[in-house]
Structure 1
Amino acid sequence: MPMLKDPSRKYQPFPQVNLPDRQWPSRTITKPPRWLSTDLRDGNQSIIDPMDAVKKNRFFDLLLEVGVKEIEVGFPSAGATEFDFISGLVKSGRIPQDVTIQVLTQSREDLIRRSFESLEGAHAAIVHLYNAVSPAWREIVFRMTRDEVKQIAIKGAQWLVDEAAKRPGTKWQFEYSPETFSTAELDFSLEVCEAVMGVIQPTPDNPLILNLPATVEAATPNIYADQIEYFCRNLPNRQSAVISLHTHNDRGTGVAAAELGLMAGADRVEGCLFGNGERTGNCCLVTVAMNMYTQGIDPGLDFSDIDKVIETVEYCNQIPVHPRHPYGGELVFTAFSGSHQDAIKKGFEAQAARNDELWRVPYLPIDPADLGRSYEAVIRVNSQSGKGGFAWVLEQDQGLKLPKKMQADFSRHVQKMADDLGRELNAADIWDCFRQAYFIGDVPKRFRLVDYQESKAGDGTQVFSGTILVNGQEQRISGRGKGLLSTILGTMREAFGLDFEVVDYVEHALGSGVDARAAAYIECRLPDGSTSWGVGIDQDVATTSVRAILSAANGVVARMASAG
C-alpha cells in the first residue's frame, strides 16, 4: 500500500505540554548523570540470538572497565537462563562494592519474589518494577480503568517492601517505571508515582528511582523535555526521588531526548552502548557521554579505547556498529572529500603550532586520539580526494612533507591510480604511486646513481664526478660549476643533452638521531617552460640533492618517451 497523500487522515500531531514558563531551554548540562547500562536486559532482549552466559559475563566485565556503576543485569523471572546468570554473578564475588546491579520485574507477586531470590547475597541491588499506564495500554491491552492500573503499581510496591524486609543483609534500592510514560497523561503518571512513593516511603538519603521512559518515541524531543520538567515541578517530595530517563529511538532522536531531559531536571540516564535496544534501539550511552566530553565535562565513563569496546559489543550482540555511528563508527573521523581533507590537514598543523590545548580542528569535534584512534585513519584517499588528502597520508606514513606545488603535480598520478583501481587507496598504494611517479628506489628508470665524489678545484669551482647506470649500463660522468646543484645540472646537460634549471628546492629531515635521513624536492624547468619534479631520499644531505636531480631527469626522459 503506498504512503497516504493526506497522512492526517490516519495520524495526528502529538499534543503539546502546557508549560508556558518552561525553564529547560536556557539550561546547560554541567555535570554527568547517574548512568545505568541496560545492555544485559533491554539490549539482550533486542537481539536475534540472546547472549549466553559467556557473552553476558564478557559484556559485564566491559561495563566495569568502562566505569558504569549501575548495571541492569537481566529479567530473572523470564526463565532459567536469566535467573542462573544473575544468581551466579552474585555468588561469583565479581561485583565491585561500588557497583550496583539491577533487575527488572513486572508487577506480579510471583515474579517479584523470583527476582529477589536471584539477588540472594548481593551487597547492594536495585529492583526495578514497572507497569504500563498510557491510555492505549489501559484501554486496548489491559481493558482497565485508571484506578485498576494504579492498584497494580501500589500492590507491586508493597511486594517490593515485603520481600526486601526478608533480606536485611542487602542494601536495597527500588525503581518504579510508569511504562509508556511518554504517551500517557502527565497527571495520571504523577498520580501513580505519588501512590508508589506513598508505599515505599523514600527519603532524600534513600530515594526512590522514578524512571520516566519514552517507551515508544512519539514526539519531538522538546515535548519529552516538557514532560520531564512538568513532572519534576509537580512531583510531591521531589527531593526523595531520582528522576531517570529511558529513551527509545523510534523517531531517531533518543539521544537528543535524553539530553533535553537532563536539562529539564532529570538525574539519571538509562541506555545501551551504541544504542542497541528493541525496535530502532534506545539511547546510546557512548554518544551522550562523549557529547558531554566535547563540552568539557568528564562523563565518568572511559571510552579511551573505543575499538576494544566496539569489538566486545559486536561479539556479544552479533550486530555491527554502523560505520557512521557517532564517535565509534569506522568512518566518523574519516574524510574522503578533497576540501574536507585540506581543512583537516591545516587544522592539525595549526593545532600543533598553538601553545594552548584547546581543540580546534575543522570537521573533527573531538580529537580521535582521545578515543584511541590514530591520526593516520583520519584522511583516506579515493577518486574524490584532493591533493591535501594524499599529502597527509604520505606525511603520516613516510614523513614526507611535499611542497604545495609538488602536491598538485603528484595529484594527477594519484587520481589516475584511484580511477584505474576503482577503490580506496591505502598508504601502501600511495607510497607505491609516489615511488613510481618520481623513480624512487627499485623501480624501472633510465638514470640510477651508483656513486659519486665532489671536490674543490684550484679556481674555487665545485667538481663532480660519478658513476651512474644508464639503462643498466655503467657510465662515468663529470663536470664542474659554482655549487653542487649547478654542477650536476651542467654535467647532465653535457653528458645527455638534458637542459633544465632549478626553480624550487626544498629539503627537510626525516626522523632524528644517527639514522635520520633527509628528503629533497626539486622543481626543474625545461626550455619549453614545462616543469619536472624530482625527489631524493638519503642519509647524506648532498646525496639527497643528487638523487633529486636524477629523479627529475628520469621524469623528463619518461615524458619525452611517452610524447614521442
Structure 2
Amino acid sequence: MDADRKLRAFTMMVAMGFKEIEVGYPSASGLDFDFVRLLAERDDLVPDDVTVVVFTAARDDLIRRTVASIDGLARAVVHMYTATAPTWRDVVLRASRAGLRTRILHAAGVVLSETDRLAHTYTRFEFSPEVFNLTEPEFVLDVCNAVTGRWDAAPDRPVIHNLPATVECATPNVYADQIEWMSRHLDRRNDVILSVHPHNDRGTGVACAELAVLAGAQRVEGCLFGNGERTGNVDLVTLAMNLYTQGIDPKLDFSDIDAVRRTVEHYNRMPVPDRHPYAGDLVYTAFSGTHQDAIDKGMIFHAKRAAALGVPESEAPWEVPYLPVDPADVGRSYEAVIRVNSQSGKGGVAYLLRTGHGLDLPPGLRVEVGALAQAASEGRAGGGELTPAELWSLFRDEYLVHPGFPVDLDGVEVIEEVTGNFREAIISYVRCRIAEVERWGAGVGSTPEAARHAAMSSAARRAV
C-alpha cells in the first residue's frame, strides 16, 4: 500500500472514531517507516486522543528501527511479537521454551531502553505471543507475566497482552476458554489490558472475538471488512455492527457505510462481496416473496408506530422482520430493500408500487398484480428482475391505460372499492362483477366520483 492510500485509510479511521490505529511495520518496509515519520512530523494528522501503534518482531535491530520511526509522536504503542507455539519454536525459531523466554525478555528490555531515549513521545507497550491458541497455557502465562514485570506495568501505564488465534484451529468456545483462563491467572491483572487478535481460517473470527470479550478480553484487534493474511483478521465492521444491533454503542461512525466500503476497496484494491454483513450490496435486499411480504407489513407497522408515538420514524423502535438493523442508520435508502424477480410475490410488488409511486393497493389487487409481475419476470431469461419503473409501467398499462372503445357500465356491479390519494388526484380501486366474471379495475380522477367511474371502466374493459 502506497503512502497516499495509507493516509486515506488512516484519515478515515480517525474520522470513524478509532482511538488506537496500527499503522505499519516500520522495520520491514521503507514505505511503512516513511509513513510513520509523516505522522510524526506533521502536526495536523494525529488528533490528541488517537494513539499510533507500530509493529515489530522481537529482534534488537528491528526494535531500534521501529522506535526511531515514532520519535516525535505525542503518543505511541510499540507492539512486539514472537511466535510461542511448539511447531514454531521447533521448526522456525529452533529454540527451547527456556531459550525463547530469555529471548523475549531481552527484546522487552531493548524496547524499554530504546523508548526511554525518546524525549517527547509517551510510549506504552504491547506483547503478542503469536499463535497463542496453540501454545501451552502455562508457558504463555509465564512469559506474559515476565514481560509485565520487565515493562514495569502500572494502572496508569498498562501493558497490553494481545493473545492471537493466529491460525484458527478450533471452535470459538475453545478460544474463549483460553482467554478466560489467562484473564483469571495473569499477574497484576489491573496493570494489564487483555487483548485478542482472532483470524478467520474457520470463518468464525467474529464469533471468537465476541466470546473472548465475554470471557474477559478488554480490547480487540482486527481489520475493516476482515482484510489480512490468508482468510483475514476479524472483521471490525461486523463486530461493531453486531454490538450496535444489540443496543451497545461501539463508538464508531458507520452512518455512511458505503463511503467506508468504497474507501477500503480503494486502499486494499479488493472488493467487498455483495453478501458481506451490513455493507454488501444485497444484505438489505429481499427477493423471496414471503420475506418481502413480511418486510412490507413491518415497514407499514413501523411508520404507524412512529406516528402514534409522535416521533420521526428514525427514532421509533426498529422491529421489521428480516432486517436486523434499519438500513437508514448506515446511510442506505429503502429503495433496494425489496427487489422483484420470478420468486417474488404480492408483498414485494405492493411495497415498490407504494413507496415508489404512491399506490396503496388493496389486498385482493396485490395478489393479482403480483401474479402479473411474476409472469413478466418468468418471461425473461433466468427469471430476470423487474425494476420499480417496469412495475409501474406494468400496472399502468394493465389498469390505467384504456383503449378508446366505449364500455357499457349498466351491468357492472361494484363488490369492493378502495379510494386514496394519488399524486395530486384521486385513485379508486374497484372489484367488479360483470356477467358473472370478477375483475379489478383502477382509475384516476379529480374527484372520487370521476376516479370511481374510471376504475369501473377499467374493470369492464379488462372483462371483455
Q: TM-score, normalised by structure 2?
A: 0.94
- Find the residue that maps to 1:78 and give its secondary structure: coil
Residue of structure 2 equivalent to 1:27? none
Q: How far has the Cα of 1:141 moved from its partner? A: 1.2
Q: Secondary structure at the match of 2:221?
A: strand
2:293 is aligned with 1:293:
no
Contact (CA 8 Å) 2:345, 2:371: kept in 1 or not? no
TM alignment of 1:42-441, pairs within 5 A: 51-93=1-43, 94-354=45-305, 355=308, 357-421=316-380, 422-440=383-401
User: Which SS does the other structure have where 2:160 is aligned?
Assistant: strand
Structure 2 counterpart of 1:519:
427
Which of 437, 440, 454 is matched with 1:547 structurally?
454
Q: Cα offset for 1:167? A: 0.6
1:532 maps to what in 2? 439
CA distance in structure 1 between the aligned counterparts of 2:20 and 2:446, rounded to whole angstroms = 58
Show the counterpart of 2:313.
none
Deviation at 1:412, TM superposition (A): 2.2
Kindly provide the amino acid, as one letter, of the partner of residue 280 in structure 1: T
Q: How many residues align?
A: 453
Matches of 2:87 and 2:286, distance apart in 1: 47
Per-residue CA deviations over 1:214-241 (Å, capped at 9, x if unaligned) read: 0011111101011001001111101100
Task: Determine the structure 2 residue equivalent to 1:446.
Answer: 403
SS of aligned partner of 2:7: helix
Q: Percent identity?
A: 49
Distance 2:285 2:29 in 1: 44
Which sections of structure 1, spanning at least 5 residues, go unmatched?
Answer: 1-50, 448-469, 476-491, 558-564
CA distance in 1, matches of 2:17, 2:329: 16
Distance in 1 between the 2:6 and 2:437 partners? 66
**Which secondary structure does the structure 2 equivalent of 1:77 belong to?**
coil
Q: 1:373 to 1:538 in 2, by over 3 A?
A: farther
Show CA shifts across 1:47-102 (max 9, x none): xxxx2112111111211121111100011111211111121122222111111111
Distance across 1 between alignment mates of 2:397 and 2:271: 38
Residues 177 and 211 in structure 1, CA contact (< 8 A), matched pair in contact too: yes
Measured in 2, the distance between the counterparts of 1:546 and 1:82 equals 75
What amino acid does structure 2 have at the position aligned with 1:423? G
Partners of 1:428 and 1:107 lie apart in 2 by 62
Whole-Å separation in 2 of the counterparts to 1:538 and 1:286 = 50
1:315-350 per-residue CA deviation (whole Å, 9 max, x = no partner) reads: 211211111111111111111111111111111222
Give the CA deviation at 1:538.
4.2
Counterpart of 1:396, as a letter, is T
Higher relative contact order (CA closer than 8 Å, sequence separation 6+): 1
Larger radius of gyration: 1
Cα distance, 1:539 vs. partner? 4.6
Cα RMSD (Å): 1.6
What amino acid does structure 1 have at the position aligned with 2:408?
A: R
Taking the aligned partners of 1:120 and 1:542, their CA distance within structure 2 comes to 81
Decide whether the 8 Å contact of 2:412 with 2:456 is kept in 1: no
Cα deviations across residues 369-395 of structure 1 (Å, max 9, x unaligned)? 111111221111110001101111111
Give the distance between the partners of 2:180 and 2:217, measured in 1 at CA: 8
Deviation at 1:534, TM superposition (A): 1.6
Aligned partners of 1:105 and 1:128 also within 8 Å: yes
